[in-house]
Structure 1
Amino acid sequence: MFTYKVACIFFFSFVCAESPKDPQVLSKVTLKGSLVGKDRFLHSYFIEPGDHFDIQKHQHSLEKIKEELIQEGYLAPHVTDQLYPLADGTAIKVVITLDPGYRYTIDAVTFTVTPSDIEKDLTAYISKSLVRSYCTQELLQWSAHSIKEYARARGYIQRKLGYTATKNDKKGTVSLAFQLELDVKKQYSFKGNSFYTTEQLTTEILNFDFKGIPVPSCFLVEDLEAFYKKRGFLHVVVTCHEEADAFSFTIVEGPRAFITAITLTGDESTMKALLVKRCKALYGIYDEDTIKKVLHDCISELHLHGYWDATLIKKGIAQYDEYGSELSLVLTLGEQRTVQDVLIAPYPHLATQKPFSSYVNLSEVRPLSSESLRKQKRYLQEYLRNQGYLYTPVNYSITEREGRKVIEWSMDLTSGPVLFGKTTIVGLSRMKPEVVYRELHYKEGDVWNQHAIEYSLQRLKSLGLFETISLGPEIIGEQVQPLIMKCCEDDPFEVRTRFGFQLVSKSFTHLSWSTYKVGGSFLWKNPTGSADKVGLDLDFTRYTRMVAGTYEVPWIGPVPIRTFFKVYSDRFDQPLLSRPHQRLYKEAHDGASVTFFHSHPWCQSFVRVGLESARVYGISERLAQIIQFDSHLVDKRTPYLYGESSMTVEHFDNKGDPSKGFYTLLSLKAMVPVGIKKGWFVRAFMEQSFFYPLYRSVIGAFRWRCGHIFNAQFSTILPTERFYLGGPTSVRGYEKNMVPPLN
Structure 2
Amino acid sequence: MTFSKRWAFLLLTALTAFSYARAENAQTQEIDPNGPWMICSIDADGLKNIRKKTITKTGHAKKGELYERFTVSDDIRDISALGAFDSVEIDISPVSGTRKAKDGAEVYPCHRLTYIVKEKPIFDRLTYDGRKHLGKGAITQAMTLKLKDPFNEAKLQADLDRIKAKYAEKGYVNTQITYELTTDEKLGVVYVKLIINEGERVRVKDVTINGGGELPTEKILKKASNRPGKVFKPQNLQRDWVKMMLFGRNKGYSEFNLSEPQVQLNDDKTEANISYDLTEGEKVDFGTVSFEGNNVFTPEELKKQVFFREGHLYNQKDFDDTITAIQEQYADKGYLQARVNPVKHIENGKLNLTFDIAEGRIFYIDNVDVTGYENTKKYVFTRELSIHPGDLYDNAKIKRSQTKIMNLGFINDVQVDLQPTADPQKVDLGFNVVEGRPGMFTAGLAMSSMDGLYGELSINHMNLFGRAQRLSLRTMFGKEILDYTVSWSTPWIYDKPTSLGVDLFNTRRYRSFADENQAYTEKRIGGRVKVGPRFNDDIYQLSFGYSFENIDIYDIDQRFVCTPDKKTGECIEKGKTNLSTISADFAVDTRDNMWDPTQGWRNSLGLALAGGPIGGDLDLWYLNARSIFNYTVLNVGGNYPIVFVLSNKFGSVQAYGRTTEVPPYEKFFLGGADTIRGYERAGEIGPEYGGDMYYVMNAELRFPIAREGRRNMAQFAFFFDLGNSWNKFSDLDFSLGPNKNQFKAGVGVGLRFTTPSLPIRIDWGYGLNHKNNEDRSHFYFNISNMM
| TM-score, normalised by the number of residues in structure 2 | 0.48
Matched, 1:546 2:591: no
Q: Which one-letter code corresponds to 1:608 in the other structure?
A: G
Matched, 1:497 2:441: yes
SS at match of 1:732: coil
- How far apart in 2 are the matches of 1:127 and 1:310? 34
- How far apart in 1 are the matches of 2:551 and 2:134? 67
Cα offset for 1:555?
3.0
SS at match of 1:516: strand
Contact 2:461 2:471 in 1 (8 A): yes
Matched with 2:574 is 634
Higher strand share: 2
Contact 1:307 1:335 in 2 (8 A): yes
**Residue from 61, 65, 77 that aligns with 1:16:** 61
Which deviations, in whole Å up to 9, do the C-alpha atoms of 1:540-598 show, x marking residues without a partner? 22234433444434334464111113343333344899999x87223222234233253
Cα offset for 1:533?
3.2
Matched with 1:343 is 291
Matched with 2:325 is 379
Question: 1:575/1:471 Cα in 2 relative to 1: closer, same or farther (>3 Å)?
Answer: same
Structure 1 residues 433-582: aligned runs within 5 Å:
436-463=381-408, 472-475=417-420, 478-485=424-431, 496-505=440-449, 513-521=452-460, 525-526=464-465, 531=467, 533=469, 535=471, 537-542=473-478, 543-557=480-494, 559-574=496-511
- How far apart in 1 are the matches of 2:132 and 2:620? 76
- How far apart in 1 are the matches of 2:178 and 2:633? 60
- How far apart in 1 are the matches of 2:315 and 2:125? 61
Matched with 1:606 is 543
Contact 1:505 1:733 in 2 (8 A): no
Q: Which one-letter code corresponds to 1:609 in the other structure?
A: Y
Contact 1:723 1:737 in 2 (8 A): no
- How far apart in 2 are the matches of 1:437 and 1:540? 37
Identity of aligned residues (%): 15
Question: 1:20/1:126 Cα in 2 relative to 1: closer, same or farther (>3 Å)?
Answer: same
- How far apart in 2 are the matches of 1:134 and 1:279? 36
Q: Which one-letter code corresponds to 2:671 in the other structure?
A: G
Structure 1 residues 208-219: aligned runs within 5 Å:
none
SS at match of 1:349: helix
**Residue from 303, 306, 312 that aligns with 1:352:** 303
Question: 1:732/1:481 Cα in 2 relative to 1: closer, same or farther (>3 Å)?
Answer: same
- How far apart in 1 are the matches of 2:533 and 2:420? 36
- How far apart in 1 are the matches of 2:490 and 2:676? 37
- How far apart in 1 are the matches of 2:502 and 2:553? 25
- How far apart in 1 are the matches of 2:123 and 2:178? 27
Cα offset for 1:639?
3.2
Cα offset for 1:505?
1.5
Contact 1:306 1:367 in 2 (8 A): no
- How far apart in 2 are the matches of 1:13 and 1:128? 39
Cα offset for 1:723?
1.1
Structure 1 residues 674-713: aligned runs within 5 Å:
679-688=618-627, 704-712=648-656
Q: Which one-letter code corresponds to 1:606 in the other structure?
A: S
SS at match of 2:611: strand
- How far apart in 1 are the matches of 2:315 and 2:522? 70
Which deviations, in whole Å up to 9, do the C-alpha atoms of 1:295-346 show, x marking residues without a partner? x8999479956657899xxxxxxxxxxxxxxxxxx99899999986523342
Cα offset for 1:487?
6.9
Contact 2:653 2:662 in 1 (8 A): no
- How far apart in 2 are the matches of 1:340 and 1:674? 65
- How far apart in 2 are the matches of 1:177 and 1:559? 60
Matched with 1:97 is none
Contact 2:293 2:358 in 1 (8 A): no
Question: 1:639/1:393 Cα in 2 relative to 1: closer, same or farther (>3 Å)?
Answer: same
**Residue from 632, 644, 652 that aligns with 2:583:** 644
- How far apart in 2 are the matches of 1:739 and 1:517? 29
Matched with 1:732 is 677
Structure 1 residues 195-206: aligned runs within 5 Å:
none
- How far apart in 2 are the matches of 1:589 and 1:435? 34
- How far apart in 2 are the matches of 1:13 and 1:358? 62
Which deviations, in whole Å up to 9, do the C-alpha atoms of 1:346-386 show, x marking residues without a partner? 23224534638756xx9xxx999988765553332222222
Q: Which one-letter code corresponds to 1:552 in the other structure?
A: S
Cα offset for 1:711?
0.3
Contact 1:105 1:135 in 2 (8 A): no
Question: 1:489/1:387 Cα in 2 relative to 1: closer, same or farther (>3 Å)?
Answer: same
Q: Which one-letter code corresponds to 1:639 in the other structure?
A: N
- How far apart in 1 are the matches of 2:468 and 2:594? 29
Q: Which one-letter code corresponds to 1:502 in the other structure?
A: A
SS at match of 1:514: strand
Cα offset for 1:503?
1.7
Q: Which one-letter code corresponds to 1:635 in the other structure?
A: G
Cα offset for 1:421?
2.4
Contact 2:619 2:659 in 1 (8 A): no
Matched, 1:423 2:360: no
Which protein has greater RCO, CA pairs closer than 8 Å, 6+ apart? 1
- How far apart in 1 are the matches of 2:541 and 2:549? 25
Question: 1:137/1:591 Cα in 2 relative to 1: closer, same or farther (>3 Å)?
Answer: closer
- How far apart in 2 are the matches of 1:310 and 1:523? 51
Higher helix share: 1
- How far apart in 1 are the matches of 2:473 and 2:665? 21
- How far apart in 2 are the matches of 1:532 and 1:653? 19
- How far apart in 2 are the matches of 1:657 and 1:345? 40
Cα offset for 1:15?
4.9
Matched, 1:721 2:666: yes
Matched, 1:585 2:521: yes
- How far apart in 1 are the matches of 2:415 and 2:207? 55
Contact 2:512 2:682 in 1 (8 A): no
- How far apart in 2 are the matches of 1:406 and 1:675? 67
Contact 1:548 1:569 in 2 (8 A): yes
Contact 1:726 1:736 in 2 (8 A): yes
Aligned residues: 521
Cα offset for 1:387?
2.1
- How far apart in 2 are the matches of 1:339 and 1:496? 57
Cα offset for 1:395?
3.4
Cα offset for 1:680?
0.6
Matched, 1:666 2:605: yes
Which deviations, in whole Å up to 9, do the C-alpha atoms of 1:199-249 show, x marking residues without a partner? xxxx9x9678x9xxxxxxxxxxxxxxx97xx699xxxxxxxxxxxxxxxxx
Matched with 2:337 is 391
Question: 1:127/1:379 Cα in 2 relative to 1: closer, same or farther (>3 Å)?
Answer: closer
Cα offset for 1:689?
5.8
Structure 2: runs of 5 or more not aligned: 1-55, 86-101, 104-120, 148-159, 221-226, 230-239, 260-276, 637-641, 690-773, 775-787
Q: Which one-letter code corresponds to 1:459 in the other structure?
A: K
- How far apart in 1 are the matches of 2:372 and 2:245? 54
SS at match of 2:389: coil
Give the superposed CA RMSD.
7.0
Deviating more after overlay: 428-437 vs 703-712: 428-437
- How far apart in 2 are the matches of 1:632 and 1:279? 73
SS at match of 1:730: coil
- How far apart in 1 are the matches of 2:201 and 2:416? 50
SS at match of 2:448: coil
Q: Which one-letter code corresponds to 2:464 in the other structure?
A: K
Contact 1:640 1:673 in 2 (8 A): no
Structure 1: runs of 5 or more not aligned: 1-10, 25-52, 65-86, 89-99, 112-121, 183-202, 211-225, 233-262, 265-273, 283-287, 312-329, 507-511
Cα offset for 1:446?
2.4
- How far apart in 1 are the matches of 2:352 and 2:670? 61
Cα offset for 1:448?
1.4
Contact 2:344 2:353 in 1 (8 A): yes
Q: Which one-letter code corresponds to 1:483 in the other structure?
A: L
